């Protein structure tokens, strides 16, 4: 029965995501996902740390798409998702499928592929692949803005943060996954406050916690074991910031649960996540 309580803990942490609205928002999802491959391609493409850090500002008017190294990185990143042919030109079918894999992506795929193809035709005579691809990227950025499908930079930043948070949620019970994002701690703390499990100073309200566990099917022995783990973890927290402290507490708590052998199978949580989206 302890697994019911643990599953509920996971359910509490799964945020509701509203349906995607507008082509610009679809583009923000595509950009954020595509950008995840950038780190892997940094060394291969010779990308400097300055360009790497500014890449998430790709859609900003201040970001100049001119560096050859960026073209090399875009080729590397595209190859991670099989979006280019051997000649470093767009694979039309795969690009369609890739964009369609995102919510409402079917509304964007045709326009996006057409814009990219038109830009490729303009610079087809450039022999150097990296130089040609960065020209195509710059052209696509301009044309996407004209078409009104370019996302706001804030949308990209929010999604990058959201993706990191989602990773912590989905992989919470995965022993190989480390919790590194303060936003996850904020979510844990907010959830516990909403459930009246913590007081004004962030301390666990024992009576409420006991009632919560009992309502979810935990017997006295299980309740005591869980509260003992929570108490031990609370004593190990070193930060006064509520979000960081909650992240430390959550990490310690799951380690305690792992030792008991109570942690749930991850696959049902992944299936639940898909339904929530």
Q: Label residue 12 by pLDDT band (50, 70, 90).
A: very low
pLDDT for 84: 96
Whether the per-residue pLDDT at 29 is higher than 60: the answer is yes
Categorize the per-residue pLDDT at 268 as very low, low, confident or very high, splitting at 50, 70 and 90.
Answer: low
Does residue 125 carry a pLDDT above 90?
yes
Share of the chain above pLDDT 90, in %: 30
Mean pLDDT of 67-94: 93
Secondary structure string (H, E, C) spanning the chain:
CHHHHHHHHHHHHCCCCCCCCCHHHHHHHHHHHHHHHHHHHHHHHCCCHHHHHHHHHCCCCCCCCCCHHHHHHHHHHHHHCCCECCCCCECHHHHHHHHHCCCCHHHCHHHHHHHHHHHHHHCCCCCCHHHHHHHHHHHHHHHHHHHCCCCCHHHHHHHHHHHHHHHHHHCCCCCCCCCCCHHHHHHHHHHHHHCCCECCCCCECHHHHHHHHHHCCCCHHHHHHHHHHHHHHHHHCCCCCHHHHHHHHHHHHHHHHHHHCCCCCHHHHHHHHHHHC
Per-residue pLDDT tens digits for 168-213: 777 788 888 888 777 777 778 777 877 888 876 777 889 998 998 8
Q: Is the pLDDT of residue 134 over 60?
A: yes
Question: pLDDT value at position 109?
Answer: 94
Domains, the chain: 23-155 (1.10.238.20), 171-276 (1.10.238.20)
């Amino acid at each position: 029965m302890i697994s019911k309580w643990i599953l509920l803990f996971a359910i509490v942490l799964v945020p509701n995501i509203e349906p995607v609205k507008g082509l610009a928002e679809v583009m923000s999802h595509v950009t954020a996902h595509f950008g995840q491959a950038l780190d892997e391609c940094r060394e291969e493409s010779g990308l400097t740390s300055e360009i790497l850090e500014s890449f998430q500002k790709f859609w900003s008017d201040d970001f100049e798409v001119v560096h050859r190294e960026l073209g090399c990185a875009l080729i590397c990143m595209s190859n991670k998702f099989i979006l280019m042919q051997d000649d470093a030109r767009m694979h039309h079918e795969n690009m369609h499928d890739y964009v369609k894999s995102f919510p409402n992506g079917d509304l964007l795929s045709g326009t996006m592929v057409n814009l990219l193809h038109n830009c490729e035709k303009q610079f087809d005579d450039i022999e150097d692949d990296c130089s040609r691809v960065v020209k195509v990227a710059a052209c696509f950025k301009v044309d996407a803005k004209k078409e009104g499908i370019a996302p706001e930079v804030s949308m990209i930043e929010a999604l990058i943060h959201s993706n990191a948070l989602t990773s912590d949620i989905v992989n919470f019970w995965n022993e190989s996954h480390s919790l590194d994002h303060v936003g996850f701690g904020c979510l844990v703390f907010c959830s516990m406050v909403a459930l009246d499990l913590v007081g004004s100073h962030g301390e666990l309200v024992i009576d409420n916690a006991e009632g919560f566990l009992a309502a979810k099917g935990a017997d006295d022995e299980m309740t005591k074991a869980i509260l003992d783990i929570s108490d031990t973890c609370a004593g190990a927290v070193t930060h006064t910031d509520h979000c960081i402290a909650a992240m430390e507490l959550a990490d310690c708590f799951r380690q305690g649960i792992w030792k008991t052998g109570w942690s749930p199978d991850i696959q049902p949580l992944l299936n639940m996540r898909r339904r929530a989206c």
